[in-house]
Amino acid sequence: MKKIAQATGLLLLTLILPFANADEAAVKQALGKSMPTAKIESIKPSEIKGVYEVVLGSSIYYVSEDGKYLLQGRLVDLANRTDLTEQKLGVTRKAALEKIGVDNMIVFKPKIGKYKVSIFTDIDCGYCRKLHSEIDQYMAEGITIQYLFFPRAGKGSDSYNKAVSVWCAKDRNAALTAAKKDQGLEKKTCANPIDKHMQLAAEFDVKGTPMIVTENGNIYPGYLPAKELVQALQAETAAK
């Protein structure tokens, strides 16, 4: 009987897998036609029958198994009151930041590091300046800050050009601090990651600055004082 059950299980698996692969292929083909430039990271069945989870860049969408319909929004487990989409977005954000790499960020490190956050910043944003003016408080809490630029006025704007000049400065950390204080900044150009930062901000759906991203890929939009941020990070660590 055991052998019969095993054989039956293998037969069912053999029958099911081709259909699953066919559905994935249909979704991929449909997306390829309607969104030819889209970079598909993965396609897999979602928690809803007949709906596939598609990761495009750092964003998550849901597509019907025939590839005709695309849903953009949050998938929530009502029984557990859990935002399943946000959980998975945390993973994609973390991977995207790792892909950018710390060498393409401006990093402020405390003497003893306990936590790490990545922050999308705009040199001319008021709350970004407030956050940076308190950089010593974040350092005292052991929070490493990795800056990425998101000049909200767009490419070619004064804020964008300042970001490029900061990146091209001999001492980027000092130049960033000076720029946020409206102190003199020598105009410079060089190869830089600002456009990549902005593209990533678009994928993360950044609406304003500062936007804080934790090591787990969770986001905190807006300014948070050092004490409040460390409490949030402690809670995140305890929840693991």
Specify whether the CB–CB gap between 181 and 151 falls below 8 A.
no
Specify whether the CB–CB gap between 96 and 63 falls below 8 A.
no
Is 122 an annotated catalytic residue? yes
- Name the one residue in this structure whose structure tokens are 């081709």: 18
Q: Which among 125, 136, 171, 190 is annotated as catalytic?
A: 125
Q: Which among 152, 168, 171, 205 is annotated as catalytic?
A: 152
Q: Which among 23, 122, 124, 129 is annotated as catalytic?
A: 122
Q: Which among 128, 158, 171, 205 is annotated as catalytic?
A: 128
Specify whether the CB–CB gap between 210 and 127 falls below 8 A.
yes
Is 125 an annotated catalytic residue? yes
List, by residue number, the catalytic residues. Answer: 122, 125, 128, 152
